[in-house]
Amino acid sequence: MSSTNPPPPEHDDDLEKPVFSMRDLAFELEVTAAILRTLEIDQILYVVLSGVTSGEGLGFNRGLFMLVDYGQRALRTSMAIGPVHKADAHRIWEDMKAKELTLGALLTAYDKVKDDPTAHELTHHLGHLTIGMNELEQLAAQAVPVDATGTVPIQAMVARCLLAGEPMFSNTVQLACEESEDPFVFKNWGMVPLATPEHAVGVLVVDNAFSERVITIRENQLLIALANLTAIAVENGRLFARMRALAEVDGLTGVANRRTYDVSVQRMLTEARQTGRTLSLVIIDVDHFKQFNDRHGHLAGDDVLRVVASTLASNARKSDLVARYGGEEFAVLLPGTTLEQAAIVARKLVRAVEDAGDMPHGNVTISAGVACSLAGNLDATQLFEEADRAVYRAKHAGRNRVECAVVAS
């Protein structure tokens, strides 16, 4: 493979400006309306990809979204729709024809397909396609490596599209994805950047690898319009996700807040009733906290709460929910956990807080009370009262210990 410039992708200036039909405008309007109905990023991506690959939409064989993950400083595959192989293309087309799926039906089918593994085969196939931000800059600065067949790495073109902020498409140059599970080539492709005035958001890639239908300037212009809308929608979705996360987290300690606890315990009790499983609750109270505040001040008390919360969160299981219930009181929800198992977890948490080495003004201890609802036989108030009474007994038994409430079935 040599490092030369491949035949250049077509640009908008090379061709006459398209004239959009009423069908084009109706398509854009229908997709826009579907996007505006949600703030969930995955649903936004699904709507756009369904639109560009639907026969009633733009009719591309496949569509791929790569979004910038600024936390991981990388551009990564977020969602892809379409067949992996040519045999899959015919099967999918026949299936859609048999079901008589219209564009409107596709755009509103997200809840039905989001948990369907077959709907995510292409996403899984391209899941390893990730480009670090530093690598993107290097790729954009280098000559494009092209082989004898006129095929270039997709990473090289994605880097140029994202960083230059310019759409491109080609009916001659092929794009190879070396990170896929087997050789994967994009043919007759289009690529448009997603960006806001502040920063790059990602890239939308489409192709006609199986039908080999040429991509027109009109289709590229429609893709640009969709990409601009998608960029704004994705950023709004990210902002909504951040705001939702903040609304669910206690501002002082970083664990779940009381509202999140209230919602979670109701949901978990409902699941326990439906499945016949147990739900245990550990209520934790910081020992002698009022005296600590009086002696060392409220700022030092805040530091204690932060360390206790961090210690509880790092020692709880992944399936558990740690929440600040109020003041110096914490709650830990343990789904699918018996009273005896929850007591073991509670003792581990008590020891972990006692051994925490970064407490201000010396070690701090906690007392814990454990209660269990069998198949949801208790409501949230009853479960809490049982655990709270157990904490009271732990306090009066000397603190820095665990007491259990036996809940009648």
pLDDT tens digit sequence for 380-403: 999 999 999 999 999 999 999 999
pLDDT at site 113: 82
- The answer on pLDDT for 93 being more than 80 is no
CATH class entry, domain 2-247: alpha beta
Question: Could you say which DSSP state residue 144 is in?
Answer: P
Which residues have a Cβ under 8 Å from the Cβ of 50 and sit 6 or more positions away? 57, 81, 103, 106, 107, 109
Binned at pLDDT 50, 70 and 90, residue 404 comes out as very high
How many C-beta neighbours within 10 Å does residue 86 have?
Answer: 12
- The answer on pLDDT for 348 being more than 90 is yes
Q: How many CA atoms lie within 13 A of 366 on its CB side?
A: 30
**Six-digit token pair at 88?**
């899959």
Tell me the pLDDT of the chain averaged across its residues: 89
Backbone dihedral region of 406: left (phi > 0), alpha (psi from -120 to 50 degrees) or beta? Answer: beta
pLDDT at site 409: 44
Cα–Cα distance between 295 and 300 in angstroms, integer? Answer: 9
What is the CATH number that goes with domain 258-404?
3.30.70.270
Binned at pLDDT 50, 70 and 90, residue 95 comes out as low
- Parallel, antiparallel, or unpaired: how do β-strands 402-404 and 366-374 relate? parallel
- Write out pLDDT tens, residues 46-85: 999 999 998 888 999 999 999 999 888 999 999 999 998 8
Q: Which residues are marked as active site?
A: 328
Question: Could you say which DSSP state residue 8 is in?
Answer: P
First CA to last CA across the chain, in angstroms?
71
- Over residues 235-263, the mean pLDDT reads 94
- The answer on pLDDT for 14 being more than 80 is no
Domain ranges of the chain: 2-247, 258-404
How many C-beta neighbours within 10 Å does residue 217 have?
Answer: 16
CA torsion, ordered 214, 216, 222, 226, to nearest 10 deg: 40
Binned at pLDDT 50, 70 and 90, residue 132 comes out as very high
Which residues have a Cβ under 8 Å from the Cβ of 341 and sit 6 or more positions away? 280, 334
**Six-digit token pair at 36?**
């505006």
Name the least confident of 151-160, 232-241, 358-367. 358-367
Provide the residue type at 169 as one letter: F
- Write out pLDDT tens, residues 108-119: 888 888 888 878
- The answer on pLDDT for 197 being more than 80 is yes
pLDDT at site 16: 54
